[in-house]
Amino acid sequence: MNGNQIEALVGMLATFGLLVLMVLPSVIGIVRDKRVDRRIRQAQEDRGERNRPSQKSSSRSTVPSTATWYAEGRRSKKLVSS
């Protein structure tokens, strides 16, 4: 190996080292988030087994939507004007 090849190798290793230093915190954060999510999911499953309700309720909200309120308002105006 001559001087140019050694210099290129050192440059590539330095670039690779900087890339690793920049990416490593993100990878550590992703792994940590996954671990926390897994613990939360496990705790919810454990709590769900202990507090199992006798009857399941629907997940849909019973509050009318904005479209329903708007339609009811228009209907009531028609009734008042007639």
Distance CA 21, CA 27 (A): 11
Distance CA 82, CA 76 (A): 10
Q: Where are the domains of the chain?
A: 23-48
In this prediction, residue 1 carries a pLDDT of: 83
Q: What angle do CA 37, 38, 43 make, to 5 degrees?
A: 95
* Residue pLDDT, tens place only, 3-59: 999 999 999 999 999 999 999 999 999 999 999 999 999 999 888 877 765 555 566
* Residue pLDDT, tens place only, 64-77: 666 666 666 666 55
User: Per the confidence metrics, is the pTM higher than 0.85?
Assistant: no
In this prediction, residue 50 carries a pLDDT of: 73
